[in-house]
Amino acid sequence: MKNVFVGMSGGVDSSVTAALLKQAGYDVTGVYMKNWTRDIGGVECPWRKDLTDARSVAALLDIPFEVFDFETEYRELVVQYMIDEYRAGRTPNPDIACNQEVKFKLFLDAALARGADMIATGHYARTEKGRLFTAADEGKDQTYFLYRVESEALSKSLFPLGDYQKSEIRSLAKEFGLSTADKPDSQGICFVGEVDIKDFLSEYIETKPGPIKHVDGRILGEHEGAEYYTIGQRHGLGVGGALRDDSGSGLPLYVVSKDMSENTIFVSEDLAALMNDEVSIDQLHWINEAPEIGEEFLVRSRHRGRLTPAVVTSSSGDTMRLKLEQPERALTAGQSLVLYQKESETTEVVGGGIITQ
The verdict on whether 45 is a catalytic residue reads: no
Q: What are phi and psi of 226, to 5 degrees?
A: -60, -25
Q: How far apart are CA 34 and CA 11, in angstroms?
A: 14
**Residue of 335, 225, 217, 228 whose CA lies nearest to 266:** 217
Q: How far apart are CA 96 and CA 238, in angstroms?
A: 31
**Residue of 112, 118, 156, 113 whose CA lies nearest to 28:** 118
Query: Between the CA of residue 321 and those of 144, 338, 352, what are the distances in Å?
Result: 19, 13, 11
Ranges assigned E (strand) in 63-140: 65-69, 118-120, 126-128, 131-133
Number of alpha carbons in the 13 Å side-chain half-sphere of residue 75: 8
Q: Which run of H or E residues covers position 87? A: helix 80-87
What are the residues whose beta carbons fall under 8 Å from the beta carbon of 26, sequence distance 6 or more?
1, 2, 3, 4
Give the end-to-end CA distance of the chain in Å, rounded to a whole number.
Answer: 49
Catalytic residue among 40, 82, 97, 98: 98
Query: Between the CA of residue 98 and those of 2, 9, 192, 256, 351, what are the distances in Å?
Result: 26, 13, 12, 28, 16
* Torsion of the alpha carbons at 277, 278, 281 and 284, rounded to the nearest 10: 80
* Torsion of the alpha carbons at 239, 196, 301 and 78, rounded to the nearest 10: 140
Catalytic residue among 135, 190, 349, 355: 190
| Amino acid (one-letter) located at 130 | G
Q: How far apart are CA 63 and CA 29, in angstroms?
A: 6
Catalytic residues: 98, 190
